[in-house]
Amino acid sequence: MEYALYIILAYLLGSFPSGLIVGKLGYGIDIREHGSGNLGGTNTFRVLGKKAGFIVTIADILKGTLAAALPYFLGADVIALIVGIFAVVGHMYPVFARFKGGKAVATSGGVILGVNPLVFLILILSFFIILYLSKYVSLSSMLTGIVGIIATVIFKDYGLTVLISLFTVFVIYRHRSNIKRIMNKTEPKITWM
């Protein structure tokens, strides 16, 4: 029963549609009707600009962190990694936004932050280095997942290795169209870095 409660709470946290709320309240725009139609930070940057993009990205990270921290805050003997996965699922398929969400990169990172801040720091640095070199957010997101798998194996944090492996599979699956565009050289590159 305890597991079910925290899984539901984590899913609902993940379902909080940051991009939709920032777009509608701050700009009068339903972000799902613009750009890629995605609710995540990348599309928010593209459609609404840096300020909105940073707000949505930080909110999406915090959803994952809070979900992973729920067992600690509420004194429950529940595995944070498992609870965190459901926040990621909630972000990808949010009940509050007709099950059309983001690609789970920031929320996955937030779960990792809640579980192992050192690995999160490595992932953030890796993401921005790859982004600086490639200018592709999607490619940076996917390759950062692979860096995370390697890092957790080196640190012998095998529970986190399994979690990051799952997240990486989610992220690659959600970026299928981006992979095609990268191969066709039609994927948009960032211009702010």
Supply the mean pLDDT for the chain.
93
Token digits of residue 34: 């613009």
Q: H helices within the chain, ranges in order?
A: 2-15, 18-27, 41-48, 50-73, 80-92, 105-115, 117-134, 137-154, 158-174, 176-184
Note down the domain range covering 140.
2-184
Task: Specify if 193 maps to a domain.
Answer: no
Residues 6+ apart with CB under 8 A from 150: none
Instruction: State pLDDT tens for residues 109-163.
Output: 999 999 999 999 999 999 999 999 999 999 999 999 999 999 999 999 999 999 9
Alpha-carbon gap, residue 45 to 110, rounded angstroms: 19
Task: Specify if 189 maps to a domain.
Answer: no
**Residue 29 pLDDT level (bands cut at 50, 70, 90):** very high
Task: Specify if 152 maps to a domain.
Answer: yes
Task: Specify if 191 maps to a domain.
Answer: no
Task: Specify if 192 maps to a domain.
Answer: no
Q: Is pLDDT above 80 for 77?
A: no
Q: Is pLDDT above 80 for 181?
A: yes
Alpha-carbon gap, residue 44 to 39, rounded angstroms: 7
Alpha-carbon gap, residue 25 to 28, rounded angstroms: 6
- The half-sphere exposure of 12 on its side-chain side, counting CA atoms within 13 A, is 7
Task: Specify if 50 maps to a domain.
Answer: yes
Task: Specify if 91 maps to a domain.
Answer: yes
For residue 64, which amino acid is it? G
The pLDDT value recorded for residue 19 is 95
For residue 130, which amino acid is it? I
**Residue 1 pLDDT level (bands cut at 50, 70, 90):** low
Task: Specify if 153 maps to a domain.
Answer: yes
How many Å is the maximal CA-CA distance in the chain?
A: 50
For residue 15, which amino acid is it? S
Q: What is the pTM of this model?
A: 0.87
**Residue 81 pLDDT level (bands cut at 50, 70, 90):** confident
Structural domains counted in the chain:
1
Q: Is pLDDT above 70 for 90?
A: yes
